[in-house]
């Protein structure tokens, strides 16, 4: 298989445990084209942990959770950033890199959380709770961020809420993340009713069944899961925190209650760990493919633009988060 690396290994070696050879052959042409296009256009590809292994391990330059992607977008030394993830991530990258071209390979890559709330909803909440600061999850549109005091991700939500030094905050739009943070903090949290369509499907009964079927399994749950799921898990944290947990603790058998490509990506780095893989796919993340990354670079599809009046206020909310 081609695409030889300087080490002498092939790109296929990175993914051979989860990508069958026949499937790899269908990827090769796009992978080689993307690697050439990145050089030609001085482009980098930022990929979220939920991207499929051939994207995550073979064409991405920077990978991570939402927080890492936002941070690393700022220092990306490139003219073009392709965001292999969902639309709000591309908007965040554009907010932090207004001079760079930021491309999202499929504009329809949305998010059920981002779709659950509008800027008008935030304005009405502010009227209902005057003076209470608004903490907004990055999984929101740029218009919603512009109405917020500060953003957070699942990786820093507790620190952000507590950094404000107030007894009460509004935390939008993920009801479960808000409740999971409230359970760890003395700050009172007013939540919204948004849910992640991937994580809301996990139940405590799933965990009990997994423990029965796979004795000794360590259960890690994303904080977008319902609180009763997080309570039954052994650990809860952002996608990056789950990767770190596996790296540090090396549990012999583990299940990640999150989007299923992540298990493939993490399993590749840990051949000695048994990963149990219940599969909840995020249909939005799965809109990104090698083929549309290639088209994005060839045809400059689809450049993210943000109205300057909104960008300034939204950037402030993201920068306040990054300063913590």
Q: Characterize the bridge pairing of strands 235-236 and 168-172.
A: unpaired
Strand, helix or coil at 48? strand
Q: Which does 112 bind (CB under 5 to 8 A by kind): ligand SF4, ligand 13P, none?
A: ligand SF4
Residue 49 in the binding site for ligand 13P (CB under 6 A): yes
Per the structure block, which two tokens stand in for 214?
């796979």
CB of 281 to ligand SF4, least distance (A): 9
C-alpha separations of 147 from 71, 72, 123, 304, 310 in Å: 21, 24, 7, 20, 9
In angstroms, the Cα distances linking 312 to 20, 239, 316 are: 46, 29, 6
Binding positions for [4Fe-4S] cluster: 111, 196, 282
The helix or strand, by DSSP H or E, that contains position 191, with its residue range, turns out to be strand 188-191
CA atoms of 14 and 299, how far apart (whole Å): 28
> Is residue 198 close enough to count as binding ligand SF4 by CB under 6 A?
yes
Side-chain-side CA neighbours of residue 68 (13 Å): 15
Beta-bridge partners for 161:
none
CB distance 313 to 143 below 8 Å? no
Smallest distance, ligand SF4 to C-beta of residue 2, A: 33
From the list ligand 13P, ligand SF4, none, partner contacted by residue 238 (C-beta under 5 to 8 A by kind): ligand 13P
Q: Which is nearer to ligand SF4, 10 or 280 (CB)?
A: 280
Cα separation of 62 and 240, whole Å?
A: 13
Residue 113 in the binding site for ligand SF4 (CB under 6 A): yes
Q: Which of residues 22-81 bind ligand SF4 (CB under 6 A)?
A: none
Which of 239, 289, 292, 295 is close enough to bind ligand 13P by CB under 6 A? 239
Is 312 strand, coil or helix?
A: helix
Q: Contact region for ligand SF4 (CB under 6 A) — 27-35, 74-82, 144-152, 281-289?
A: 281-289
Stretch that binds ligand 13P, among 32-40, 65-73, 244-252, 297-305 (CB under 6 A): 65-73
Site string for ligand SF4, 114-153 (x = CB under 6 A): -------------------------x--------------
Residue with tokens 């051939």: 54
Question: How many residues make contact with ligand 13P (CB under 6 A)?
Answer: 13
Q: Which of 19, 44, 59, 66 binds ligand 13P (CB under 6 A)?
A: 66
Give contact residues for ligand 13P (rule: CB under 6 A): 49, 65-67, 111, 139, 153-155, 196, 224, 238-239
């Amino acid at each position: 298989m081609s695409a030889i690396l300087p080490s002498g290994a092939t790109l296929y070696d990175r993914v051979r445990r989860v990508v069958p050879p026949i499937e790899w052959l269908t990827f090769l042409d796009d992978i080689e084209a993307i690697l050439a296009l990145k050089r030609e256009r001085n482009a980098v590809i930022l990929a979220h942990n939920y991207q499929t292994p051939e994207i995550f391990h073979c064409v991405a330059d920077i990978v991570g959770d939402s927080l890492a992607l936002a941070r690393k977008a700022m220092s990306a030394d490139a003219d073009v950033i392709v965001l292999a993830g969902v639309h709000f991530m591309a908007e965040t990258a554009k907010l932090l890199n207004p001079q760079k071209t930021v491309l999202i390979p499929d504009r329809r890559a949305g998010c059920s959380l981002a779709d659950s709330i509008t800027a008008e909803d935030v304005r009405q909440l502010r009227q209902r709770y005057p003076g209470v600061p608004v903490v907004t999850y990055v999984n929101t549109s740029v218009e919603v961020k512009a109405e917020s005091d500060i953003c957070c991700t699942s990786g820093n939500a507790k620190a952000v809420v507590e950094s404000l030094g107030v007894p009460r905050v509004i935390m939008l739009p993920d009801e479960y993340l808000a409740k999971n943070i409230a359970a760890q903090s003395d700050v009172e949290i007013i939540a919204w009713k948004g849910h992640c369509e991937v994580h809301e499907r996990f139940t405590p009964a799933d965990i009990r069944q997994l423990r029965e079927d796979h004795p000794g399994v360590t259960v890690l749950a994303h904080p977008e899961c319902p609180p009763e799921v997080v309570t039954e898990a052994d650990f809860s944290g952002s996608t990056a925190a789950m990767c770190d947990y596996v790296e540090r603790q090396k549990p012999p058998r583990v299940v990640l209650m999150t989007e299923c490509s992540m298990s493939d990506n993490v399993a590749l780095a840990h051949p000695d760990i048994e990963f149990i893989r219940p599969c909840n796919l995020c249909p939005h993340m799965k809109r990104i493919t090698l083929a549309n990354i290639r088209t994005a670079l060839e045809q400059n599809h689809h450049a993210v633009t943000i109205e300057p009046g909104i960008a300034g206020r939204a950037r402030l909310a993201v920068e306040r988060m990054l300063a913590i």
